[in-house]
Structure 1
Amino acid sequence: MRRSRALPLARVGRRAAELALGLPAGGTDYAVTRDLRVPMSDGVDLLADLYRPRGSGPGPVVLIRTPYGRTTLGSRLFAIVLARRGFQVLLQSVRGGFGSGGSFRPFTTEHQDGLDTLAWVRRQRWCDGRVATTGASYFGHTQWAVAPYADPPLVSSSLHITAARISDGFYEHGAPGLLNGLTWSDLLARQELPAPLPLIGGFGRRTRVVRALRTRPLRDADVTAAQVPVAFWRDFTGHAEPGDPFWQVADHDGADLGRMPPVNMVTGWWDLFLQAQLHDHERLVAAGVPVWLTVGPWLHGATPEVREMLRTDLEWLEHHLHGGPAPEGAPVRVWLQQADRWLDLEAWPPPAAVVERRWLAPDAALAPSPVGGAAGPSVFVFDPADPTPVDGGPLLAPPGGQVDDRETEAGIDVVVFTGAAEAQDLDLVGPVVARVHVQPERDRADVFVRLCDVDPDGVSRNVVEGIRRLDPLTVPADDVTVGDDGVLAVDVELFPTAYRVAAGHRLRLVIAGGAFPRFAPNPGVEGALGDSPEGVPCRFRVFHDAEHPSHVRLSVLPA
C-alpha cells in the first residue's frame, strides 16, 4: 500500500484538462492511497486506489471498477475530477488485470466480485456505509452486476454507454457483431503491453482488425489481429447461438429493478449499446426508479460524451451524496440531429410523437400510403463469400456514425426504396421499426435494414439501421410470423433516433442480407460461428403488394 499526493505541476495539468472538458473549477486537495488489497470470497485479492479529500472523515464512497487499469487517463479522470470536488473514490482493477489476482474472463465474474468489493468498502473506517457507483461501458457493466442485488441498496448509479443485457452489444437480434467484437478483443490483448495503443483507437487498428476478420476458422482471428488468443473472442465466437446459457451470468436484464437506486444515464445516438440502454431506461421508469437520461450525437466514448458524463455526474452525486440541490431540467434530454439543438422531454419515447408509415412500393418507391393490387417482389442475392459492404453506424470505435451510403446502395446485393421530397421538416424522435415481408430461399438468413436521408444533391446518409438473424431456433417468434404462402413478416427493430429530415430531403430504405464487417455474414447453413462453415448464396424475395404490405414505422414529433 502506497500513499501519494498531487504535485503542483500535476495539479496545473489536471486543471487544464478540466478546462478543456468544460468542467467548473474544483480546488479540493486530495491524497491517493494506492494498491489497497481487496479480498474476494474465493481468496483472490483485487487491487484498488483510494482517492480522498485531505482532512475528510468517514463519508460516502463512489465505487468505480475497471478492466483498463488505474493509471490510464480514461480510468483516473473520473476519480480525479470527483476527488477534487470533495468525493471519496475507490478505483479498482477487476479480476485478472493490472495487478489484481485471478484471470480476466470478461463479464463472467463481476457479479460476485462486485458484491464482495461493496461489502469490503462498507466495512472500512473511511466509509459511512453509503456507496454510489459510476463509470462507462465495461465500467457500467460492473455496476449492473451489483446495483440490482446490493443489500442495503446503493445510493445511486451512473450507467453510461452500457446495458443490463450486455450481450446485446455483441449479438444484435442474433447477428454477431464481428467488428465490435474483434476491435475490443484486440484492445484487451494489447492494453498491458509496455507501450499500449490508445484505449479504443490507434493507427492501423481498424485496417488490421478488418483484415483479420477474413481469417478461417474465424475463432483464430484474434491471433491474426493481436498475435495471441483472447479469452473474450473465444467466448464470443464459441457461444454465438441464440439462447446460449453461457451469457446468463453476464446479463442482468432479469434482475429485480425495484431494488435499483436512482440512475443517471448518458449515451449517444451512434453508440453500440444505445438500443438496449433505452430499453433499460423504459424498464427502470416503469419500475418507479428515478432516471436522468441524456442522449447526444456521439460515438462510443467520444470526448464530448465523456464531458457530459462528468458534468451530469457532478450534479447527480452532489445531490445524492452531499445533499445538494436536485438536478434541474427535464428528466430526458436528447440532441435533435441536423437541427443542432437539445430537446427537453418528460419521457422517452416522447408521448407527443405520432406514428407515420412509409410503404415499400413497386418501381423502388417509398410511398406515404399502402400499395394496392398485385406487384412482383424485389429480388437480390446475398453471397457470404462476398458479403455486402456497409460502413458507418453505431460502432465501438471510429470511423462510425454517418457516412455516404451510395456505394452500398449501388450494389446488386441490395434493394432500395426512395420516397418523394419532404414538403416540410420531418423530426424523427423515437423508435423506428421496419416490417419486411420476405422469403429467403434458406431458413438461415439475415435481414438488414438501413434508413437513409437523401439530400437534394443525391447524397445518401445513414440515419438508423437494424438486423434480424433468422434460423429455425428463432422462427416463428413475436417479431417473425410465417404466412400461409411461406412468406415471413419480419419486424426489424432499427436503432431509435432524434433526427431532422430537412424539407426537400427524401427518405430511403435499404434492405440487404448482411452488413460486413460490422456483422458476421450468415453462411446459410448450420455450423458454429468460430468454425466458419463454408457458406452458400441466398436468394431473397422482398414483397410489397396488398397481401404483403412491407413498411417502416416512424415516430414523428409534430412541429
Structure 2
Amino acid sequence: MKIVTELPHPVVENPDVGIVLADGCRLSARVWMPADAAAHPVPAVLEYIPYRKRDGTLARDEIMHPYVAGHGYACVRVDMRGNGDSDGLMSDEYSEQELADACEVIAWLAAQPWCSGSVGMMGKSWGGFNCLQTAFLQPPALKAVISVYSTTDRFESDIHFKGGCLLGENIGWGAVMLSYSSRPADPALRDDWREQWLERLEAEPFLAPRWASHQSYDAYWKHGSVREDYARMQMPVLSFGGWADNYMNTVGHLVANVPAPVQGIVGPWVHQYPHQAVPGPTVGFLQLAIRWWDRWLKGIENGAESDPAMRAYMLHSAPPDASAPHREGHWLAESTWPSDRTYTRQMALSFDGMLDGDGGLLELPISTPQHLGLDAGEFFPMGLNAEMPGDQRHDDAMSLCFDTRQAETPVELLGAAVLKLRLVSDKPRGFIVARLCDVAPDGSSVRIAHGMLNLCHRDSRETPAPVPVGEEIAVELVLDQMAYRLAPGHRLRLALSNSYWPFLWPSPEPVTLILQDGMLELPVHEESGPEWQPPPAEGAAPWKHRVLREGSAARRVERDLISGRWSLIVEDDGGERENLTHGLVSGETLREVWSIHPDDPLSARAEIFWEQRLSRGDWSVMTRCTTLMTGDADGLRMQAELTAYEGDSLILARSFDETVPRDFI
C-alpha cells in the first residue's frame, strides 16, 4: 500500500467530540476534517461501531479517515453506546436503540456548521451491517452508504446460523463481544471512567444463548434484515465482499434487488478492508470510496453511477494454502447481475461417483465422522494465521464425493451453484453440507464454495419441522457465490457430508442419510480476460506506536490417542503496543479449543479464553473472559465467566450459565 502524506486539504483532528443524544447519553466521536471546513462546509462520513476508536480500530482508522478527510470530507468515527469512550450500555447487536442512535447522530452531523448537510455512512462487518440497516430507516440527511462485508439477512448470512444450521462462530462471537465490551473508557478522556466501567461490567450481557435460542427466521432476525423490504433502500449503495469471507453473497443480493443505484465489488479477500486485505491483490478502496462520495454527497458528475454493476475477481486454480498472501486471477466487469454471460449447466450425480454422469437411482449413504471439517477455516478469516480453508482432501476422503472428468479447457464459474437432492433420513434432525472443490492432478483439493442446509428448514425457514424418518424428502441447497476458473487437467468435485466441525454445531445424534438422486446446477461463464484495472491501494500515514512485546500465533489440529478426541486449537497473543500519540498501551490474548470424538456428536466442546489489557504509567486494567459450550440431546449449555482487575486487585467476577433447548438443531 502506498502511503500518501500530501493531501489536497490539510486535516485537523479532534480525538473526543461529544455527541449528546436526546436521552442525555454522550457518544464519543473522533473527527478528522479539512482545516477550513468551518468556512467551507463539507459532507460528513460516519463510521459507527463498538470496536473502540481509542485502541481497537485505531490502526486502520489512522490510514483511512485522514486520507478521506484530506479529500474534502469530515470523517467521524463514533463509539457506539456502551463501548469505548461512550456512555450507556449495549443490550444486543443491531438493536432498535443502536439504529435510533445512528439516526440521531446523522441528524446531529448534518446540523453542524462545518457540515454541508449531506451525510454518508460506511463500515466493515458490524459497521457494514448497521449502515445498511440505517439506510433502511431513511434518515433525511443520509444520502449514500458504503457497506463492506455485511448482510441483508441476519438469520441466513451472519455468524449465528447458515442454512438454518447453528454456526460454531455463534459461541465464538458471544465470547468476543463479552470480552471486547468489558473494557473501560480511557481515563485520559473521562474522569468518571471507573464508575462507568463498573456499571458497564455489571450490565454486560452474554449474548450467545440469546442468539442460539432463535432457531427459525422469526421477528428477532427480521429486524435489521433489509431483505424484508428491498424497496425501502432508496439511497445509493456501494457494497464490497471477499471470496475468502463468508459475507460474499450480500453483494449480489444487493445488486440484484435494491432499486437505488447499487454497485458491487468482490475480491479475493479475507475480512479486512480491501486496501489492506489478503490474499492480494489489494485495491484502492479509499479512491473508490471517494469517487462514490464525490458523486452522491457532493453531486459531482464523475460518472460513478455508470460504473459496472458488479466487478468480481475471478480466482484461478492454485494449490491449497490456508495462509495465501496472494491469489492469481483477473477482474470481471459485469453490467448485469446475475451475469447475462452465464448459463446453467446441469450435472447429474451418478452411482459410480461421476459428476455429470448418467444419473439414476443412487441409494448411497451419507454418515460422516463428527470431526470432518477441521480444514474448513474460519467463518471470517482475518489474516494469514491459517484461517482460510486448507487442503480439502482429508475431509473429501470422509465424504461422499462425485467428480467430473479432467477439464480439457478452462472452465469459468460465476454465481451460485444450486444442488437438488432427494434424501431419506433415519433421524428427525440433521443437516447436509455440500462443498464444491477444485481437485488438481496431484490429488490436492481447494474449496471453491460451500453450502449447508438444516433439513428441518427444507420447506420453510419461518416454520421448520422435523424430518419425516424413513420418508423421501426433496431439498434444494444454494451454495455460496463464486468466481472461479478451473484449470485444464483439473476436476470439479462435489463433496457431501452431514458433519462439519467446528464450522457447524453437530446434530444431537449420529444421522444416516440415504441419497436417492441429485442434480447440480452450475453457473458457467463464458471465457474471459481482464476487464477492469482497479486503482492501487493507498492510505494515510500509519499510527505512531512502539512494540513493547511481540505477539505470536498458532493453529494446530491434535488427536488424543487415548481418548480418540480430535481438537482444533487456536492461539493468538497480540503482544503489547504503546500508542506514541497518547501513551495508551494495549494488548490481548486468545485461546480456543474445539474438540470432538468422531463417533459422538454430544462430545462436542468449545472452550474459549480472552484476555484484554490496557495501561498507561501506573494505571492498568485487565479483563478475562472464559466461555464453554457443550450439549446433550435436549439442550445446548453455554457458560461464561467474566473477571475484571484494576492493577492486581480483582474488582468484579460474574458467571453466566444458560441452557438453550434444541428445537430444530
What per-residue deviation string (whole Å, max 9, x for no partner) do you get for residues 63-112 of structure 1? 11121122312334332121122211221111100121121222213211
Q: CA RMSD in A?
A: 3.0
Cα 1:244–1:322 shift into 2, 3 Å: closer
Q: Which residue of 2 aligns with 1:204?
A: none
Q: Which residue of 2 aligns with 1:547?
A: none
Query: Is it true that 1:245 corresponds to 2:235 in the alignment?
Result: no
Q: Which residue of 2 aligns with 1:405?
A: 392
Cα 1:195–1:501 shift into 2, 3 Å: farther
Structure 1 contact 32–49 (Cα < 8 Å) conserved: yes
Q: Which residue of 1 aligns with 2:209?
A: 234
Specify the code of the residue in structure 2 equivalent to 1:337: L
- Among 330, 334, 337, the alignment partner of 2:308 is 330
- Among 278, 282, 291, the alignment partner of 2:262 is 291
Q: In structure 1, how many angstroms separate the alpha carbons of the residues matched to 2:369 and 2:166?
A: 17
Moved more, 419-428 or 39-48: 39-48
Structure 1 contact 336–342 (Cα < 8 Å) conserved: yes
Q: Which residue of 2 aligns with 1:101?
A: 87
Structure 1 contact 388–512 (Cα < 8 Å) conserved: no
Q: CA deviation at 1:259?
A: 4.5
Query: Is it true that 1:45 corresponds to 2:13 in the alignment?
Result: no
Cα 1:153–1:483 shift into 2, 3 Å: farther
Q: CA deviation at 1:148?
A: 2.1
Query: Is it true that 1:391 corresponds to 2:376 in the alignment?
Result: yes
Q: CA deviation at 1:183?
A: 4.8
SS in 2 for 1:314: helix
Specify the code of the residue in structure 2 equivalent to 1:555: P
Q: CA deviation at 1:180?
A: 6.2
Specify the code of the residue in structure 1 equivalent to 2:266: V
Structure 2 contact 170–208 (Cα < 8 Å) conserved: no
Q: Which residue of 2 aligns with 1:147?
A: 135
What per-residue deviation string (whole Å, max 9, x for no partner) do you get for residues 145-166 of structure 1? 2112224252211011111323
Q: In structure 2, how many angstroms separate the alpha carbons of the residues matched to 1:65 and 1:232?
A: 20
Q: CA deviation at 1:354?
A: 0.5
Cα 1:188–1:274 shift into 2, 3 Å: farther
Cα 1:193–1:153 shift into 2, 3 Å: closer
Q: CA deviation at 1:229?
A: 7.7
Specify the code of the residue in structure 1 equivalent to 2:334: L
Alignment of 1:410-425 (within 5 A): 410-411=397-398, 414-425=399-410
Q: Which residue of 1 aligns with 2:427?
A: 442
Moved more, 334-343 or 179-188: 179-188
Q: CA deviation at 1:136?
A: 1.2
Q: In structure 1, how many angstroms separate the alpha carbons of the residues matched to 2:348 and 2:68?
A: 51
Q: Which residue of 1 aligns with 2:510?
A: 537
Q: In structure 1, how many angstroms separate the alpha carbons of the residues matched to 2:235 and 2:17?
A: 27
Equivalenced residue count is 480
Structure 2 contact 82–181 (Cα < 8 Å) conserved: no
Alignment of 1:513-552 (within 5 A): 513-523=498-508, 536-544=509-517, 550-552=518-520
SS in 2 for 1:299: coil
Cα 1:195–1:446 shift into 2, 3 Å: farther
SS in 1 for 2:207: helix
Cα 1:304–1:537 shift into 2, 3 Å: closer
Moved more, 261-270 or 178-187: 178-187
- Among 330, 341, 365, the alignment partner of 1:352 is 341
Q: CA deviation at 1:361?
A: 0.5
Q: CA deviation at 1:515?
A: 0.9
Structure 1 contact 267–296 (Cα < 8 Å) conserved: yes
Unmatched runs of 5 consecutive residues or more in structure 2: 187-202, 317-327, 528-665
Q: CA deviation at 1:329?
A: 4.2
Cα 1:80–1:46 shift into 2, 3 Å: same
Specify the code of the residue in structure 1 equivalent to 2:341: A
TM-score, structure 2 normalization? 0.67
Structure 1 contact 166–251 (Cα < 8 Å) conserved: yes
Specify the code of the residue in structure 2 equivalent to 1:344: A
Cα 1:76–1:244 shift into 2, 3 Å: farther
Q: Which residue of 2 aligns with 1:200?
A: none
Cα 1:457–1:194 shift into 2, 3 Å: farther
Cα 1:164–1:335 shift into 2, 3 Å: same
Query: Is it true that 1:553 corresponds to 2:521 in the alignment?
Result: yes
Q: In structure 2, how many angstroms separate the alpha carbons of the residues matched to 1:521 and 1:133?
A: 38
Aligned sequence identity (%): 22
Q: In structure 1, how many angstroms separate the alpha carbons of the residues matched to 2:116 and 2:209?
A: 42
Alignment of 1:23-172 (within 5 A): 26-56=7-37, 57-71=40-54, 72-104=58-90, 105-108=92-95, 109-152=97-140, 154-167=142-155, 168-170=157-159, 171-172=161-162
Specify the code of the residue in structure 1 equivalent to 2:484: Y
What per-residue deviation string (whole Å, max 9, x for no partner) do you get for residues 398-439 of structure 1? 53444211111122xx21111111121110011111112211
Q: In structure 2, how many angstroms separate the alpha carbons of the residues matched to 1:175 and 1:484?
A: 19
Cα 1:236–1:75 shift into 2, 3 Å: farther
Cα 1:401–1:84 shift into 2, 3 Å: same
TM-score, structure 1 normalization? 0.79
Q: CA deviation at 1:393?
A: 6.8
SS in 2 for 1:270: coil
What per-residue deviation string (whole Å, max 9, x for no partner) do you get for residues 187-238 of structure 1? 6614765999xxxxxxxxxxxxxxxxxxxxxxxxxxxxxxx9863323333x
Q: CA deviation at 1:122?
A: 2.1
SS in 2 for 1:96: coil
Q: In structure 2, how many angstroms separate the alpha carbons of the residues matched to 1:148 and 1:367?
A: 43
Cα 1:118–1:88 shift into 2, 3 Å: same
What per-residue deviation string (whole Å, max 9, x for no partner) do you get for residues 318-361 of structure 1? 22233442237423211110061111110122112000122110
SS in 2 for 1:538: coil
Q: Which residue of 2 aligns with 1:361?
A: 350
Cα 1:259–1:553 shift into 2, 3 Å: closer
Q: In structure 1, how many angstroms separate the alpha carbons of the residues matched to 2:85 and 2:228?
A: 32
Structure 1 contact 180–395 (Cα < 8 Å) conserved: no
Query: Is it true that 1:453 corresponds to 2:441 in the alignment?
Result: no
Q: In structure 2, how many angstroms separate the alpha carbons of the residues matched to 1:112 and 1:255?
A: 19
Structure 2 contact 366–514 (Cα < 8 Å) conserved: yes
Q: In structure 1, how many angstroms separate the alpha carbons of the residues matched to 2:110 and 2:183?
A: 34
What per-residue deviation string (whole Å, max 9, x for no partner) do you get for residues 451-504 of structure 1? 111111111111100000122xx3434999999982122111100111001111
Q: CA deviation at 1:273?
A: 1.4
Q: Which residue of 2 aligns with 1:381?
A: 367
Which of the two has greater strand per residue?
2
Q: CA deviation at 1:49?
A: 2.0
Query: Is it true that 1:304 corresponds to 2:277 in the alignment?
Result: yes
Which of the two has greater helix per residue?
1
Cα 1:187–1:265 shift into 2, 3 Å: same
Specify the code of the residue in structure 1 equivalent to 2:486: V
Structure 1 contact 295–335 (Cα < 8 Å) conserved: yes
Cα 1:427–1:195 shift into 2, 3 Å: farther
Q: In structure 2, how many angstroms separate the alpha carbons of the residues matched to 1:188 and 1:137?
A: 17
Q: CA deviation at 1:301?
A: 1.1
Q: In structure 1, how many angstroms separate the alpha carbons of the residues matched to 2:454 and 2:498?
A: 9
